[in-house]
Chain A
Amino acid sequence: MKAFRGQPSIFASTQPDDRRAELEVRNLNLSFGGLQALYDVDLTVKTGELLAIIGPNGAGKTSLLNCITGYYHPQEGQIIFNGENITGHHPFEITKRGIGRTFQNIELFPGMSVIANMLLARHIHCEYNVGLASLFSPSVKKEEVRHRRVVEELIDFLEMQPIRKKPVGSLPYGLRKRVELGRALALEPKLLILDEPFAGMTLEEKEDMVRFLVELNEAWGQTMLLVEHDMSVVMSISRRIMVLDFGKKITEGSPELVQNHPEVIKAYLGDTGTI
């Protein structure tokens, strides 16, 4: 039977400002001791866009994401989100400003159920305090029910109904990736950052994931920044691609432009002159 495919209410925002996601990264420099991970990286993401970052292993893609989400603190440069400088903020502050992310190596809470994992992400949208929580007053109950409804809508969307009560530690890898996407969506992010959402998945799981991401982006206008190795997926879903190599931005543009760029070919395949 076909699953219910309504629009989760968190995407139905009527205020255009609620979904505004303008990210600008300027001259970002990051080094670990003597190792320079990022050199003068510039990046812009516009509202409603799906931008992919690609590059060979060790190019600094995840480092760039970690800078944007506050896990690494860049030595130089600025990260501006919706007009506010968020460079050097803590990850939790950046999450509150509307940047949600998934991790390359799944970072879920294995002991908690799928629902609990996703409810946890609703944390920043809960308004009650410790006192009310310890009494579990009717207002707290009402709010918990509201968050549960949001989570259930996302579970419907991601087709995870049969596993909603299962502890995440017992799920197979592909489903965990999907739970992680669900958890990031439960944050109601303005900008969704995905670190290798297709890594280690079977073909069917990849197809499902592509379907979810395309629907999120094109039907519901979710702004996304994506790091991925799977070229066929990246080339088919993104409008704009940025290529990093050894911490430097090589080029940026449409899939066709990037595919035929000599520097990109050199970065991936080596120098053709030496063959």
Chain B
Amino acid sequence: MRKLRFRPCGNFKEYYEQELTIFETDFGRMWMWIGLFLLLFVVPFVGSPYTLYVLNNIAIAAIAAIGLNILIGYTGQISLGHGAFFGVGAYSAAILATKAGFPFWLSVILAGAVTAIVGMIFGIPSLRLKHLYLTIATLAGQFIIEYVLVHWESLTGGAEGIILPEPTIFGLNVSADRAFSWVVFFSFAVMCWMAVNLARSRYGRAFVAIRDNDRAAEGMGIPLFRYKLLSFGISSFYAGFAGGLWAYYTVSITPEPFTLFLSIEYIAMIIIGGLGSISGSVFGAVFIIMLNEILSQATQYIMNLGAFAGIALTVAPLREFVFGLAIVLFLIFEPRGLAEVWRIIRSSFRLWPFAY
């Protein structure tokens, strides 16, 4: 066995394979395995149901945010329809489970596939439209999907929504918070790994090329339209997969959560986390979900104080305000997001006691 590589004081690489690894050092790889171990085998046992509920929501949001980051951060196609795609995933899983009687795992994966197709259809305007104009076209997609979810009652159940069966895997019921967290954490880890792999393959490079300079990308043999659609497809697959998991987790779904505000929340996640970075999407999801939870806890706390109950009602819309503030502050002070903050912290540890 070779020696573990921590932080060599120079470049001692001998093979090109060594440059293709996700983690530059064994130290990083070791921490990844420790983190994965903690997430899969420690957290589900020691976490309270509430902690697990928050963590599950974070992991689901992170999967969807990774998808959006592939589309916006890597390919540079700004989409305002991600919340709706999340909803398409949730509804596809619910419909496949209730009407077609598919098992849990299959309906979640197929929900991703269905959403990928829907996402590609709404990505067709990217053939002609760029930048702001494409954003407005995807906004239209958001409203069309919202309308369909409410009004196609025979399929979606209209405003009443759908109640999903309990999820089972290999005959085991995984509907409880702890059991479901295994499913969610495992899918999260796999989806993260796949996204990182895509980013370092020819597809990731092609996406970045389309973002940076689409004219030159075409000259390098990249079929723009096909790759933009592919990006929409991959991004929507992530959204749909996350939506499917979320539908099983919340048991009953209605069209209400899948509004424009959800799309904006996802955009906030990737801006705060860091555009064009897979880890950034995860950081962003953690930040936004935690912010949501803290704000709702705070509102509840104030309401229970009695004397301040009147104020609480005025404080409730504070959520949107804090959201906007967080985005603005990040854009001013750290436009590259939490991923960059994390990088700076890491390298300052590495470089200590020198400044750089």
Task: Check B154 for interface membership: any CB of A closer than 8 A.
Answer: no
Q: With A and B bound together, what is the CA distance between A134 and B203 in angstroms?
A: 9
Q: For the complex, what is the distance from the CA of A101 to the CA of B205, rounded to whole Å?
A: 19
How distant is the Cα of A133 from the Cα of B15 in the complex, in angstroms? Answer: 20
B residues within 8 A CB of A101?
219
Using CB atoms, name the residue of chain B closest to A126. Answer: B202
| Complex CA distance for A194 and B140, rounded to whole angstroms | 43
Query: CB distance A187 to B202 under 8 Å?
Result: no
Taking CB atoms, residues of chain A closer than 8 Å to B20 are 141, 144-145, 148
Interface segment among B32-40, B47-55, B220-228, B287-295: the answer is: B220-228
| Contact of A112 with B by CB under 8 A | yes
Which of B19, B219, B221, B230 is in CB contact (< 8 Å) with A130? Answer: B230
CA distance A155 to B205 in the complex (A): 19
Cα distance A204–B224 when bound, in Å? 37
Contact B197 A124 (CB under 8 A): no
Query: Contact between B197 and A119 (Cβ–Cβ < 8 Å)?
Result: no
Q: Which residue of A lies closest to B203 (CB)?
A: A133
Residues of chain B contacted by A123 (CB below 8 angstroms) = 202, 205-206, 220-222
- Of A123, A128, A141, A183, the most chain B CB neighbours within 10 A belong to A123
* Complex: A88 Cα to B233 Cα, angstroms: 28
Is B220 a contact partner of A95 (Cβ separation < 8 A)?
yes
Q: CB-defined interface of B280-316 with A at 8 Å, one 1/0 digit per residue? A: 0000000000000000000000000000000000000
A199: interface (CB < 8 Å): no
Residues of A close to B221: CB separation below 8 A: 92, 95-96, 121, 123-124, 187
Binding site for B on A (CB under 8 A): 69, 71, 90-92, 95-96, 101, 103, 107-112, 116, 119-124, 126, 128, 130, 133-136, 140-141, 144-145, 148-149, 152, 183, 187
A-B contact pairs, 10 of them (CB 8 A): A92-B218, A121-B221, A123-B205, A124-B221, A133-B198, A133-B203, A134-B195, A140-B201, A144-B20, A152-B16
Given contacts A69-B219, A111-B212, A123-B222, 10 further A-B contacts (CB under 8 A): A90-B218, A92-B223, A108-B213, A120-B206, A121-B220, A128-B202, A133-B201, A144-B20, A145-B20, A183-B220
B residues apposed to A, CB below 8 Å: 15-17, 19-20, 194-195, 197-198, 200-203, 205-206, 208-209, 212-213, 215-224, 230, 234
